[in-house]
Chain A
């Protein structure tokens, strides 16, 4: 069902066959190599969504940068959010190379974001109303990102795999930064401890949704089969979610936090976590830019784009 390869590609001198053989042999595909259209389009979608999510992901944390409660925390969160913007830049460069044959560039990525054609990650549509959320984003959202990105470290597309290596290395610091904020709160006053529980309760569904639906039956579409076929990733959404639980549930419990899902348990026979599904129809709404903060955050990016138009104009004049 996912073999939507155009007849031109198949007959194209066996290029498609050779391409698949290269991937299966573990070779890396580079920007200038021949690739099937489906592969290119999947990568563009995946990488531009990843890149723009890093950039939109800076916005919920940005709220807390000026407010961080100590000099050390101010420095830490500034560095962390800067890294996220850096990841965004790195990934957009990778996406831009892939888009070249279509005559598209970063300007198009931004326009697609504003029009809603380019989605950003569900977690970054959510509210982050307390300092506990600033810690939780680093600890669990970046923790989840490490799990899903490590899964693609060996991606068949070389430029993406290389960018991910650098990104994952930095994400480890981010998770430590978040964990350090959380640990300080966990060991603090009752109010500080309540702040983390409140954040976990608020972010639970968004964290479950982070890895995407387990199959297309939930939301109608899923790209996971195509990405696995082309050696971009290895594990399914559900496998990644299970890895996340296995890594973080014991840590949450050891901090004295209560799981927001009281039916959740680890089934030793099946060797997997049994949990309540989040409302996937809500997920579909969120990524359609109908989440609690979708409009506000898009508005921030749009204002920046409009307000700085004169700067872009000035520099393009300077270059020409």
Chain B
């Protein structure tokens, strides 16, 4: 296998396996934890219609995580379920923005979830995901390029959904706008973590898997600026205030989430469930 073909053999160590693993872990862990946060909203969304729509999106997102874990299964030779459920906190590669709780309370006890934060986080993230998928579609790792095509089909609807909420709530003025502006500030504080590609960024780009963080962010801004301008929203500067999830830095929010999501799995990891 040579580098001149458009296809990279996953087992070929010359072709940046670390960079490929890192990228796949980032993609899988991002979707996995956000789908988990979405599933905590079940039964609690502002309208019954929204509950149905949002849980459909969360399912798609969990489906995308599954696709990425399955791609990893081939390259790291570990079962996708184990990758999703058993990796410790420090090995998780998701952006910290996505692990943050939906709001005060537990999903079963006094959940005072913040719909404005959920709308902004999802809208900003899904637009960044679209930009990434567009880059991956043109990327050199064929299995991932093929997965990106499938993911993109569903992202169209996700973007439409969150854009509708984002626009309507900001246009409503009053309390809704105040809450949305506060949510935008909160999301911006950690939004850079979503674009971040971690320590292997250079190799990822050189291997042609994906474009640079800078390029991804610029494309995101090109897509979002006209919408933000129309809604008279000034975007605060993006940062990684809570740390860099790509480097394995995480918060107690993720620790708690992991212990919940692997509760049954851990009763017997070798059993068939």
User: Measuring CB to CB, which residues of chain A are less than 8 angstroms from any residue of chain B?
Assistant: 55, 58-59, 62-75, 78-79, 81-82, 85-86, 88-89, 92, 131, 181, 184-185, 187-189, 191-192, 296, 299-301, 303-304, 307-308, 310-315, 317-318
Contacts and interface: CB of A to CB of B under 8 A. Distances in A.
Interface stretch (B35-43, B200-208, B239-247): B35-43
Contacts of A301: 43
B55 to A, nearest CB: 4
Given A66-B36, A73-B273, A314 B267 contact: no
B43 A313 contact: no
B236 interface: no
A313 B174 CA distance: 10
B48 A318 contact: no
A89 B49 contact: yes
Given A78-B62, A311-B169, A71 B80 contact: yes
A63 B260 CA distance: 10
A81 B42 contact: yes
B271 A192 contact: yes
Interface string B145-182: 00000000000000000000000110111111001000
Contacts of B47: 311-312
Q: Lowest 9 CB-CB distances: which A-B pairs, in order?
A: A314-B176, A314-B172, A308-B46, A69-B273, A82-B55, A69-B264, A311-B46, A304-B44, A69-B265
Nearest to B176: A314
B86 to A, nearest CB: 11
Contacts of A55: 43, 48
B59 A79 contact: yes
Interface of B: 36, 39-40, 42-49, 51-52, 55-56, 58-59, 62-63, 65-66, 69, 80-81, 84-85, 103, 105, 107-113, 115, 168-169, 171-176, 179, 257, 260-261, 263-265, 267-268, 271-273
Contact of A68 (B46, B80, B264): B264
Of B65, B107, B110, B172, the most chain A CB neighbours within 10 A belong to B172
Contact of B267 (A78, A191, A318): A191
Contacts of B273: 69-70, 73, 131, 181, 184-185, 188
A66 B261 contact: yes
B52 A71 contact: no
Contacts of A81: 42-43, 55
A300 B52 contact: no
Contacts of A89: 48-49, 52
Given A69-B264, A70-B265, A317 B63 contact: no
B42 A313 contact: no
Given A71-B62, A82-B55, A314-B172, A65 B39 contact: yes
Given A67-B261, A75-B62, A304 B179 contact: no
B59 to A, nearest CB: 5
A74 B52 contact: no
B173 A317 contact: yes
A311 B176 contact: yes
A71 B81 contact: yes
Nearest to A57: B43
A78 B58 contact: yes
A72 to B, nearest CB: 8
A59 B48 contact: no
Contacts of A188: 271-273
A60 to B, nearest CB: 10
B119 to A, nearest CB: 9
B226 to A, nearest CB: 21
B62 A74 contact: yes
B245 to A, nearest CB: 19
B58 A187 contact: no
A111 B271 CA distance: 45
Nearest to A305: B46
B188 to A, nearest CB: 21
Contacts of B69: 71
Of A65, A75, A191, A314, the most chain B CB neighbours within 10 A belong to A314
B271 to A, nearest CB: 5
B84 A71 contact: yes
Nearest to B82: A70
B268 A192 contact: yes
A314 B175 contact: yes
A98 B6 CA distance: 62
B17 to A, nearest CB: 23
Contacts of B63: 75
A208 to B, nearest CB: 27
Contact of A70 (B81, B107, B176): B81
Of B44, B110, B169, B173, the most chain A CB neighbours within 10 A belong to B44
